[in-house]
Amino acid sequence: MRFGGRGRELNAETQRTQRFAERLDKEGGVVYLTCRLNTTITSDRLSTTFAALADPTRRAILARLLSGEASVTELAEPFEMSLPAVSKHLKVLEHAGLISRGHNAQWRPCRLKAAPLKDVDDWVQHYRRFFEESLDRLDNYLRELKQEEAKKKEKKHVRKQSRN
């Protein structure tokens, strides 16, 4: 029995793919493996949200929904992809809780839901202080370097004047 990350059992198909990749690797072949998002089991809501936000098309759809609800057809307009492809993106966003889809006769409007984005913001807040402190330290260091450089230039200038 093989295990994936975090002690999860790998399904039979994944095990076969892994054995195939190992065999190719031993023979000197190059292997590119792609995991399908809809078969990936995420461990928590935050991971699901980040997985949904990882795709630029889905981020663009969310940006469009900031201005109000829209139909699948309206959301698909700026993209060069089929309506079923856009629907798959919407299913991922819906699974992550980032959008909701209503029912209004034949029209199924999509709406932005902000709760998962609030979770992301809360998570990022923990790290914001670290980044701000790091940037402050970098700013202070650069300021010190500029002061030292200015002192060196001043000393050079004084030396040149004293020679003349």
55-70 pLDDT per residue, tens: 999 999 999 999 999 9
Cα(65)–Cα(74) distance, rounded to whole angstroms? 10
Cα(67)–Cα(62) distance, rounded to whole angstroms? 9
Task: Quote the pTM value.
Answer: 0.58
Counting residues of the chain whose pLDDT is more than 90, the rounded percentage is 52
Q: What is the structure's pLDDT at 29?
A: 54
Cα(127)–Cα(94) distance, rounded to whole angstroms? 27
57-96 burial, b at 16+ Cβ within 10 Å, e below that, comes to bbeebbebbeeebbebeebbeeeeeeeeebeebbebbbeb
Cα(113)–Cα(33) distance, rounded to whole angstroms? 33
Cα(95)–Cα(38) distance, rounded to whole angstroms? 10
Sign of the torsion angle spanned by Cα atoms 123, 125, 128, 133 = negative
**CA dist 78 → 57, 75, 82, 83 (Å):** 10, 7, 11, 12
Amino acid at 31: V
Amino acid at 142: L
How does pLDDT run across 124-151, given as a tens digit for each residue? 998 898 889 999 999 999 999 999 998 8
Residue 110, beta-bridge partner list: 70, 101
> Of residues 109 and 39, which shows the higher confidence score?
109
Q: The tokens of 81 are what?
A: 């992809």
Cα(71)–Cα(69) distance, rounded to whole angstroms? 7
